[in-house]
Structure 1
Amino acid sequence: MEPHNEQAAGEVLHQRGWRKAFTVQEMVDKWAWLVGRVENGYSDLVDEYTNDLYSRNWLHEACPILAERVIALWIPQIKALDDRFRDATVFDDGISLSHPRLLVGDLGRSLRSAGATD
């Protein structure tokens, strides 16, 4: 597959089922927003949390189809956000989604009832 620029990659992923042709900037911004919320206590429902994780999933799917020069521009910021996310979450081998360390609100109640701890 030929490497794509940012706009073309968004179109390819849209054709694969994503609801629109997102840009890398949009998804990095959404990932940064979610990381900030997790660090400060994500309190929405568990379904909202799993839905909000879509931004990182999109970036994961986009990387193999993006041109190397595009990836080189974005990967330092994405890796820094990934590191912050890992620091703000507890990896639990998939039992409850690498849940936030700070369990608050509806998400915290749902995860605690499933056995998660702070």
Structure 2
Amino acid sequence: MSAIKRGYGDDIDEYTNDLYCRNWLHEAWLLLDDHIVQLWTPRIKALDDRYKAATVDDDGMALDRFHGLPGPDLWWWRRHPRIFTGDLGLSLRSAGAIGTVPDGA
């Protein structure tokens, strides 16, 4: 999560791979018992909130240029890092995404 907050330096393939990890959690959530869901929901929500704060919602327009977007209920696919760094930043910028470049970059 802190990598996204500072600016995600890997490429588009690594970023989408990380998004697939969130997909897995979304799918696994349906298989968990109520006690586990109640225990972990506040933690997952806190992490999702941190992700939302470090990203921009562009309805997936930039990311869709490189990778087909899954269904609308997978909201994390419609966001990209707020700070552009590395290959991902270059790719998103080339797709017309708006973000900031860290100082000194």
Alignment match, 2:84: 103
Specify the SS of the correspondent of 2:30: helix
TM-score, normalization by structure 1: 0.68
Specify the SS of the correspondent of 1:53: helix
User: Partner letter of residue 80 of structure 1?
Assistant: A
2:14 to 34, 48, 57: 48
Q: Give unpaired runs (5+ residues) of structure 1.
A: 1-34
Q: After superposition, where does 1:23-62 map in structure 2 within 5 Å? A: 35-62=1-28
Which structure carries more relative contact order (alpha carbon 8 Å, separation 6+)?
2
**Following superposition, which runs of at least 4 residues in structure 1 exceed 3 angstroms of deviation?**
none
Over the aligned positions, Cα root-mean-square deviation in angstroms equals: 0.9
Q: Give unpaired runs (5+ residues) of structure 2.
A: 64-78, 100-105
**Residue 96 of structure 1, CA deviation:** 2.4
- Which is richer in helix? 1
Residues in 2 aligned to 1:85 and 1:96: alpha-carbon distance in whole angstroms: 17
Residues in 1 aligned to 2:90 and 2:32: alpha-carbon distance in whole angstroms: 39
TM-score, normalization by structure 2: 0.76
Identity of aligned residues (%): 60
Q: Larger Cα Rg: Structure 1 or Structure 2?
A: 1
Specify the SS of the correspondent of 2:87: helix
Q: Deviations over 1:54-88 (max 9, x none)?
A: 22111100111110001111111100000000111
Task: Count residues with an aligned counterpart.
Answer: 84
**Residue 52 of structure 1, CA deviation:** 1.1
1:85 to 39, 51, 74: 51
